């Protein structure tokens, strides 16, 4: 049975295109547990955003995964951690939030991941801090909100356990997705071109925002809200790299004309 299970795991090349991102984790033991879960399922790319404790790389709970912690990327903000990713999936519960992006139940996530990887993209699976989970601002960087099915009486999960459950689902359903048991993303069904990376979308949002300011679109007090809405809009539209370059060039030209 073990051989059959291991045979269904994602390939090494596929796993190398998946990043696990922990946002502001408070307990180093949870970071270590997440690293151990990653090692269990063969994932090696970990990013830790603004950790609460400075000595998290020394966590004793990373049994069998010390090198994974040593090689983990540390960033100050989520935007930096997911800059090169073309599909960013935030995790959480719908109990206390109203989602602003597409919601996908965890058992249905594998086809989205496989479809993006097959187009040459990179996927990030993002987890929030232990006390509150991902904020509304954090989720503005996400294309999807992945809901982990839990009992209503205890909707939240320990960070390490959440990482383990999500990676298990990706691994266990990899072969099923390959055999066509799940439908791929509808919008990308007949598209082979890679979607624009998160850093390109941030650049595009910035130039659109500058044009909005130059045109007097709204008062300065609305700039933060407008930027939030632009992030969500661009991720819902899922522009390709070519589309993003053309739109970026268009707005740069418009802005240049306006500033003249």
189 and 118 Cβ atoms separated by less than 8 Å? no
58 and 155 within one domain: yes
CATH code of the domain containing 158: 3.40.1280.10
- Residues β-bridged to residue 108: none
82 and 200 Cβ atoms separated by less than 8 Å? no
User: pTM (2 decimals)?
Assistant: 0.87
Model pLDDT for residues 32-80, shown as the tens digit of each residue: 999 999 999 999 999 999 998 888 888 878 787 889 999 999 999 999 9
Burial status of residue 32 (CB atoms within 10 A of its CB: 0-12, 13-18, 19 or more) = buried
Phi, psi of 164 (to 5 degrees): -60, -45
pLDDT over 60 (residue 176):
no
As a whole number of angstroms, the distance between CA 185 and CA 204 comes to: 24
Structural domain span for residue 140: 2-188
**Could you report how far apart the first and last alpha carbons of the chain are, in Å?**
69
- Residues β-bridged to residue 92: 147
Three-state DSSP at 240 gives strand
**More confident call, 246 vs 182:** 246
154 and 228 within one domain: no
For residues 4-25, give the mean pLDDT: 81
Q: Flag whether 193 is in a domain.
A: no
Q: Flag whether 161 is in a domain.
A: yes
Closest of 80, 46, 78 to residue 159, by C-alpha: 46
Model pLDDT for residues 124-145, shown as the tens digit of each residue: 999 999 888 999 999 999 999 9
Domain boundary among 161, 188, 215: 188
169 and 106 Cβ atoms separated by less than 8 Å? yes
97 and 24 within one domain: yes
């Amino acid at each position: 049975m073990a051989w059959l299970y291991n045979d269904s795991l994602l390939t090494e090349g596929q796993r190398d295109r998946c990043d696990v991102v922990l946002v502001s984790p408070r307990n180093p033991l949870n970071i270590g547990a997440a690293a151990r879960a990653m090692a269990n399922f063969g994932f090696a790319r970990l990013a830790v955003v603004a950790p609460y404790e400075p000595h998290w790389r020394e966590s004793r709970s990373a049994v069998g995964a010390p090198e994974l912690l040593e090689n983990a990327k540390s960033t100050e903000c989520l935007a930096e951690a997911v800059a090169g990713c073309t599909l960013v999936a935030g995790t959480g519960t719908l109990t206390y939030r109203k989602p602003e992006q597409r919601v996908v139940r965890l058992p249905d996530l594998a086809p989205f991941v496989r479809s993006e990887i097959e187009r040459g993209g990179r996927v990030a699976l993002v987890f929030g801090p232990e006390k509150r989970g991902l904020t509304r601002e954090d989720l503005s960087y996400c294309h999807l909100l992945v809901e982990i099915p839990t009992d209503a009486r205890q909707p939240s999960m320990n960070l390490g356990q959440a990482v383990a459950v999500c990676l298990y689902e990706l691994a266990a359903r990899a072969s099923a997705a390959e055999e066509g048991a799940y439908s791929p993303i509808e919008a990308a069904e007949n598209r082979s071109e890679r979607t624009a990376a998160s850093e390109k979308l941030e650049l595009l949002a910035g130039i659109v925002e500058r044009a909005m300011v130059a045109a007097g679109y709204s008062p300065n007090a609305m700039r933060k809200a407008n930027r939030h809405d632009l992030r969500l809009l661009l991720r819902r539209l899922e522009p390709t790299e070519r589309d993003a370059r053309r739109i970026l060039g268009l707005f740069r030209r418009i802005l240049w004309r306006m500033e003249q």
